[in-house]
Structure 1
Amino acid sequence: QELMRSEGIDLILATGGIAMVRAAYSSGKPAIGVGPGNVPVFIERTADVEKAVECIISSKTFDNGIICSSEQSIVVDRPLEDSVVKELEKRKAYFMTEDEIDRVSRTMIQSDGGMNPELVGKSAEFIARASGFNVPDDTTLLVARLAGVGRDYPLSCEKIAPVVAFYVEDGWVKGCERCIEILEYGGLGHTLVIHSKDADVIMEFGIKKPVFRVIVNGPGSQGAIGMGTGLPPAMTLGCGTWGGSATSDNITPEHLLQVKRLAFNQLEGWFPFAEGYRYKEAVRVKSGVDNIKLPNKSKEDVGRGGYDREEIENIVRRVLRERGLI
């Protein structure tokens, strides 16, 4: 708090938990804050299962899952369940028993819903041992089959470690609903991943999901930060107003620049309220739209709320009609 309020601080860039971001916004200083990511990955029935699982493992084990765009829950289209499980196990993912899920839940997730900081970025083997059971040393992920999302299912939240929830749904519509449910539990505005070869399904996910990054057929961690996707390279990922952030962008140095603009008047001799001000022509020049028929107004009416609702509506409709929009 003292550091953020210091006179030497001009701008705060807040990447972290909700409490820290709120503290930045309430510090009295200009702040750019980003929210948490509870990222679901949906494996749709047309997906390349081998590639999808490879991407998930690569993403979730990258720095042991500390990047906020790493996959938190795997949602599988039912026809692919067996092949996805087989591929995950082939790549050393460990499906926990009900008792082990409960142990990890109690060890990893605190009573307030936050993650135990002692387990952030730890290996799957370390987390299992801390929870009272053993897994092979080469285990890549701990996988928890869950029946729901929310406080009753602690591992359905964001887990900054190589631990993922696992769901099976019938069809992409049900999968879509489950992904939205996961996002609403601490991931709105952040990131979603989909593996599919169906362009229509991909577009449905791209258009309708409440996130600002939809990674298609790639790893969430690397894709969201710009590797192989063309997104601006950044580790600070805005969630927009959906996630309580000031921006939905990947935060880059451009967001930290302040630009001064020296603007020269290009309408020589045209000044509002001055004698002979040609306001109709000025409107056309400023907007770049020709042939807008404005109602007859005297210069005394300009800037004084001289248009009534009907005149404004007629102008808007006329411009839209001329542009072929209505």
Structure 2
Amino acid sequence: MSKRSVFDTVCDAIDASKSALKLYKELGISNREEIIKALREELLNHVEELAQKSYEETCMGCIDSKIQKIKLSIERTPGTEDLISEVLTKDKVMTLYEYSAFGIACAIMPSTNPIATVINNTIGLLAAGNSVILCPHPRAIEVTKYLTDIIASAILKTCGIDNLVTTLSEVSIKSIQEIMYHPDVNLLVVTGGSEIARTANKCDKKVISGGAANPTFIVDETADIDKAANCIVKGASFDNNILCVTEKNIVIVETIYEKFKEALEKEKVFYIDTFEDMLKLSKVLLTEDLKPNKFLGGKSVKEILDFSGINYSGDYKLIAVDVPKIHPFAIEELLMPVISVIKAKDFDEALEFSLCLEQGLRHTAGIHSNSIERLNIAAKTMQTSIFIKNGCSLDGIGFSEGNPVSFTIANRTGEGSTSARNFARRRRCALIDAFSIR
């Protein structure tokens, strides 16, 4: 069965997007708000269905986590309210700053988070006044086409504009590059740390790009250890740790190591602290060139332990493994429910290790400490796009109550957690001669 706004060729998709944009430009902000409201209402009817389809196609993560992040993306992605106008008045001039659309946006999606990122980007891009061409990962093409049909149908029903959001029936590196380099495409939004992000920066147009991540969190001797363990497990186990922001490494001040280990085990963490089991885990999680085994990306703890041949009993949320700071588990982003635990002699060494492990990617980091001075030192030193103090990594992208949600973290181009205002051009308009009522 054919789906709405799914095209076989790049040219057809771009032509349709151009026609839709021409009509969309004639609408006002209130019309955009109506469209986004209708989208939210319609998408809420499909949350569980989309989570199931995403899981079945990508074979990564877990359905409960996907339901949660899809729902949050629908409900808490900022819309037109994010486009805040500014006015400056002087005696002889009024200067107005407002946000205008770029035009046609190409949004490149990751395999790890296809549904929530599509919804998050689509709402933000439409709020900014753009039309959208979605470029899914080949591993998530079918569920993206299904979602595009839902979105496009809801928009058509609301405002009569067809193809405001489109995608391709098949995707490849070649087709994505054709869209990126096309002269009618004005904005590139790239989520994830793939090679395509590097290509985007060569296209001579506006690029908002994420990049690789290796989120590292410090736990010092002043921390609330039980709370820290709970936050770390909540983040690192979420959707089997395939989100780019979730905890990958924990640097622990060694004086509290035993207490921290006990706290993790209370949170249903399978702890590996022997060389024999660490070696077993390494053999299956790493390839011969010491890179992550993509076959096990997003798999469950049970599947990973079974593949490793490690004896266990019970149900676990996460695997923690003691490693040196140069181990591939610590320096590579595994995208599995596995965290590396690295011991440091004190806070200063822990911060040094953390900075080394984050590798200057400036994506995500955090600290658990009751020292205000250390909280500030760590935040200033790490210089990451997202920094979390005494919380869970998920808090950093809007999972805490009332915060806006963002699933594109533009660490490569510097916008950080993105929203509608990042997907628009900030323009300055000056009116000369008196225009002040003061």
Q: Confirm or deny a common fold (TM above 0.5).
A: yes
Contact 1:40 1:71 in 2 (8 A): yes
Secondary structure of the corresponding residue to residue 348 of structure 2: helix
Residue 335 of structure 2, aligned match among 135, 141, 160: 160
Partner of 2:355: 180
Q: Where does structure 2 lack aligned partners over 5 or more consecutive residues?
A: 1-173
Secondary structure of the corresponding residue to residue 410 of structure 2: coil
Q: When you count strand as a share of all residues, which structure comes out higher?
A: 2
Partner of 2:430: 263
Using the alignment, how far apart are the partners of 1:46 and 1:23 within structure 2?
44
Going from structure 1 to structure 2, the CA distance change for 1:211 and 1:231 (only over 3 Å counts) comes to farther
Question: Is 2:369 aligned against 1:201?
Answer: no
Secondary structure of the corresponding residue to residue 143 of structure 1: strand
Contact 2:386 2:417 in 1 (8 A): no
Partner of 1:271: none
Partner of 1:128: 305
Question: Is 2:395 aligned against 1:223?
Answer: yes
Secondary structure of the corresponding residue to residue 233 of structure 1: coil
> What letter is aligned with 2:234?
S
Displacement, 1:63?
0.9
What is the 5 A alignment of 1:1-326? 1-6=174-179, 7=182, 9-96=185-272, 97-111=274-288, 114-149=291-326, 153-156=327-330, 157-184=332-359, 188-220=361-393, 222-228=394-400, 232-239=404-411, 245-259=412-426, 261-266=428-433
Using the alignment, how far apart are the partners of 2:361 and 2:189 within structure 1?
20
Using the alignment, how far apart are the partners of 1:256 and 1:110 within structure 2?
38
Contact 1:64 1:123 in 2 (8 A): yes
Q: May I ask how many residue pairs the two structures share in their alignment?
A: 257
Displacement, 1:260?
5.0
Q: Where does structure 1 lack aligned partners over 5 or more consecutive residues?
A: 240-244, 269-326
Larger Rg computed on CA atoms: 1
Q: When you count helix as a share of all residues, which structure comes out higher?
A: 2
Residue by residue over 1:271-309, the C-alpha shift from the partner in whole angstroms, topping out at 9 and shown as x without a partner, is: xxxxxxxxxxxxxxxxxxxxxxxxxxxxxxxxxxxxxxx
Displacement, 1:113?
5.4
Using the alignment, how far apart are the partners of 1:191 and 1:229 within structure 2?
20
Contact 2:385 2:417 in 1 (8 A): no
Secondary structure of the corresponding residue to residue 258 of structure 1: strand
Displacement, 1:29?
4.6
Contact 1:4 1:29 in 2 (8 A): no
Displacement, 1:42?
0.8
Residue by residue over 1:224-274, the C-alpha shift from the partner in whole angstroms, topping out at 9 and shown as x without a partner, is: 2023388652011122xxxxx112420112211235554323499xxxxxx
Using the alignment, how far apart are the partners of 1:265 and 1:101 within structure 2?
70
Secondary structure of the corresponding residue to residue 263 of structure 1: strand
Contact 2:201 2:207 in 1 (8 A): yes
Contact 1:192 1:215 in 2 (8 A): yes
Using the alignment, how far apart are the partners of 1:227 and 1:119 within structure 2?
26
Contact 2:229 2:263 in 1 (8 A): yes
Using the alignment, how far apart are the partners of 1:176 and 1:210 within structure 2?
12
RMSD in angstroms over aligned alpha carbons?
A: 2.4
Using the alignment, how far apart are the partners of 2:188 and 2:291 within structure 1?
23
Residue by residue over 1:40-74, the C-alpha shift from the partner in whole angstroms, topping out at 9 and shown as x without a partner, is: 11111111111000000100111111111111111
Displacement, 1:190?
1.0
Higher relative contact order (CA 8 A, sep 6+): 2
Using the alignment, how far apart are the partners of 1:230 and 1:5 within structure 2?
39
Residue by residue over 1:145-198, the C-alpha shift from the partner in whole angstroms, topping out at 9 and shown as x without a partner, is: 11222xxx11112121110111121211111111111111xx621111111111
Secondary structure of the corresponding residue to residue 211 of structure 1: coil
Secondary structure of the corresponding residue to residue 352 of structure 2: helix
Displacement, 1:202?
0.9
> What letter is aligned with 1:255?
N
Higher mean alpha-carbon deviation, 109-118 vs 166-175, is at 109-118
Partner of 2:78: none
Going from structure 1 to structure 2, the CA distance change for 1:210 and 1:126 (only over 3 Å counts) comes to same
Contact 2:241 2:336 in 1 (8 A): yes
Using the alignment, how far apart are the partners of 1:15 and 1:135 within structure 2?
36
Partner of 1:321: none
What's the TM-score once normalised by structure 1's chain length? 0.72
Secondary structure of the corresponding residue to residue 417 of structure 2: coil
What's the TM-score once normalised by structure 2's chain length? 0.54
Using the alignment, how far apart are the partners of 2:192 and 2:293 within structure 1?
14
